[in-house]
Structure formats: structure tokens, C-alpha cells
Structure 1
């Protein structure tokens, strides 16, 4: 029988890969107004902010957006876009002045940055960054819905896929998974005393 440390590392690596795929393939997790219109994934929020602030060259933003565009083309049975002809969705007209309005949803913005970074770094070494990012996003969206900060609450919505991302982000933390496995094991002495 494998030790709890080995099981925890296996579960953590699988959860980290699932989280990476959910984030990079741009599975819609939420719907929130952003500088580019309506954003549905952490990568869209991050990309709109990176383009508006001109922090990174467009090549980096295209590299973030291409796997999602590729998966979207396969799912919708469309032609696969080439990397050079990849349009930056609705982000081409985003300006730095529009990026300031994004600061109203600071939790969603910071959570999106942490989620994308956690997905990328989680392949090397899973950690807490992805869970912190997902919790920030959920907190920002729930706060927005409760406080009704937007003009219409129909603009803010949390999709059911958010639970998959949140659960896989939690399971990507090896130490926490190891504690869960240890708490689920029954002591053998108690079992022997019962019979």
C-alpha cells in the first residue's frame, strides 16, 4: 500500500494538470464586465489588462490566447486559426484609460493574474497561488452580486465550471491533500478492538 505522501503527490499533480487545462483552454468560469466588454475567463481578464497597460508585447498575449482559440475552433467545428492571423478577440481597441475602470473589480483582476500564473507555475511545482487566485475571483464576483455594484446583476454570473476549477486548485496543494488522506485512514487498532 502506498504512503499518504505518494498518494498526495499523485492527486496533487493530476489536479494541477486539470486546473492548467481549465485555465489555458479558457473554459468559461464566470461572466463579468471588463475593459474589452464581457470577459468569461481569467485569461481574458488578464489579456485585456495586459494589452491596455502595454506591459507585455502582443506576442505574449497571443501565446496566452492561442490554446483557447484552438480549443474553441475544435469544439465549434471551425477552421483552426493560425498563430499569425489570430485576432485578439475584442481586445484590439482597449486603451490605457479603459484599464482604470477595471480597478473597480480589483479582486477579479488580481485573482485572474494569480490564476493564470498559478496554472503555469503549477506544472512545475503545484502551490497555493492558484487557490488564492480562484478564491479572490469568487470573492470579487460574490461581492459584486451581493452589493449590486454593477448597473444590472445579469452582467455578473458564476458558471458551474467554477466549482471544478476551485476544487482542482484546492487539490493541487500537496500538504492539504496529505492531511485529508491521513484523516481518512482508520487506525488498525480500533478495527481489531471492535471484533
Structure 2
């Protein structure tokens, strides 16, 4: 039987890869108004912010968006957009109409999206808590907006939603932390010893 350290390493590595795939392939986790119109993934929110603020060159944003665009094209059975026309797929024409004040209305979601995207990449070679904090910030922001109802007053036609895959992302982010997985394994072993 393998040691708890090996089990924890295996589980956290698989969870980190699954979290990375959820983020990079842009599996819809939520729905919130953003600079693209409506964003459903942390990468869309992060990319819209990077394009609007011009912090990074456009090709960096395209590299982030391209894997998810490939998945969406395969699912919808459409032709793959060229690299130069990739941003047209995400409706970047609405970027100028969206104000920075609106970003402050859901600051937790924006910050959580940044942490989720960076945490997904960092988690591939060094498991940490960044992706879990990012996902929890997104959930807090979505719950706060729904409870306070601010977003419904500002954008009555665009509502905020959480999709079930967000809970899968939380579980993957939690299980990608090796120390916490080891504690779970030790706790379950101690419980089995007490029962027998």
C-alpha cells in the first residue's frame, strides 16, 4: 500500500491538472457582465481587463483565449477563427462602452479571476492556495452581488449566475493543495483505526 505522501502527491497533481484544464479550456463557471458583454470564465474576465487596460500586448491575451476558442469551435461545430481574428469571436467592440466604475461593482470577481488564472498556471509545477483563494473570491463576489442585488439594478437584462462546474473547480482547487490532502488522508486513516 502506498504511503499517504505518495497518495497526496498523486491526488494533488491530478486535481491541479483538472483545475488547469477547467480554466484554460474556458469551461463556463459563472455568468457576469463584463467588458466583453457577458463573461462566463475567469480567463474571459482577465482577458477583457488586460485588453482594456493595455497592460500586456494583445498577443498575450490571444494566447490565453485560443485554447478555449478551439474547444468552443469544436463543441459548436464551427470553423476555427484565424489567430488574427480571434478577438472578434469575443466581441471586443463593446470594450469601450463598458466603464471602469462597473468593474468596481464586482471587484471580488475580477480579483478572483486573476488569482484563478495565475493559480491554474502556477499550480502545474507548484501546488499552492492561489487557485483556491481565487475561486473562493469569485464565489464571494457572485454571492454578494446576488444578495445585494446591485447588478440587477445596474444591468436589468443581464443577471449573475453560478454554474455547477464552479463547485467542481472549488473541489479541484482544494484537492490541489498537497498539505490539505495529506491531512484528509491522515484523518481518514485515524478514523478507520478508531472504528476497528
Q: Would you call these one fold, judging by a TM-score over 0.5?
A: yes
Q: Which runs of 4+ in 1 moved over 3 A?
A: 186-191
Establish whether residue 161 from structure 1 lines up as the match of residue 165 from structure 2. yes
> Which moved further from structure 2: 22-31 or 33-42?
33-42
Report deviation, 1:101.
2.0
3-state SS, counterpart of residue 131 of structure 2: helix
CA distance in 1, matches of 2:193, 2:28: 48
- Report the 3-state secondary structure (helix = DSSP H, G, I; strand = E; otherwise coil) of the residue aligned with 2:33: strand
Residue 174 of structure 1 aligns with which residue?
A: 178
Partner-residue secondary structure (3-state), 1:38 = strand
Report the counterpart of residue 117 of structure 1 in structure 2: 118
For structure 2, list consecutive stretches of 5 or more residues without a partner in the other structure: none
**Higher-Rg member (1/2):** 1
Aligned position for 1:41: 41
Aligned to 1:126, the other structure's residue is in SS state coil
- Whether 1:148 and 2:149 are equivalent positions in the alignment is yes
The alignment yields a C-alpha RMSD, in angstroms, of 2.0
Deviation at 1:103, TM superposition (A): 1.5
Q: Between 91-100 and 40-49, report the one with greater CA deviation.
A: 91-100
Aligned length: 192
Q: Structure 1, residues 136-181: CA drift from partner, whole Å, max 9, x if none?
A: 0000000100111112496110001101111100000000000000
User: Against the structure 1 CA distance between its residues 110 and 187, is the aligned structure 2 distance closer, same or farther, given a 3 Å change threshold?
Assistant: closer
Point out the structure with the larger helix share.
2
